[in-house]
Amino acid sequence: MDAMSAPIEAVLQALADPVRLKMVRQLAERDGEISCSGFDVAVTKSTLTHHLRTLREAGVIQGRQQGTTRFNSLRRNDLDLAFPGLLDAILAAPAVDHQPSGQPHAISG
């Protein structure tokens, strides 16, 4: 993939989903690759595939095929270059333990 080409809105949209944010947190903690079956998220395989594609299209992750396995990694350097401080600010936010349905908590306003 070329250098970061996604607008900030696409990156925010990709990271706004609780399941996708959890996957990105896991990639950041691993600081390496995670195969498609290696994510600790309670979603079906097809949903996981959808989430991975969304993250990839937004330029947040990249994939590497090795045999029959696809390995995913965070494009941290590209993100930091395109949107300095953004990923660090998001990863520093407290992780909310969501239900498998992936709905964020209700907000009192």
Interaction between residue 42 and a second copy (CB under 8 A): no
Binders of a second copy among residues 9 to 28 (CB under 8 A) are 9-10, 12-13, 15-18, 21
Interaction mask 45-64, a second copy, x per CB under 8 A: -----------xxxx-----
Q: Which residues of 29-66 are buried (b: 16+ CB within 10 A; e: fewer)?
A: eeeebbeeeebebebeeeebeebbebbbebbbbeeeee
User: Helix, strand or coil for residue 78?
Assistant: helix
* Strand-by-strand arrangement of the 61-66 sheet: 34-35, 69-74, 61-66
Interaction mask 68-97, a second copy, x per CB under 8 A: --------------xxxxx-xxx-xxx-x-
Residues that bind a second copy (CB under 8 A): 1-2, 5-10, 12-13, 15-18, 21, 56-59, 82-86, 88-90, 92-94, 96, 104-105, 107-109
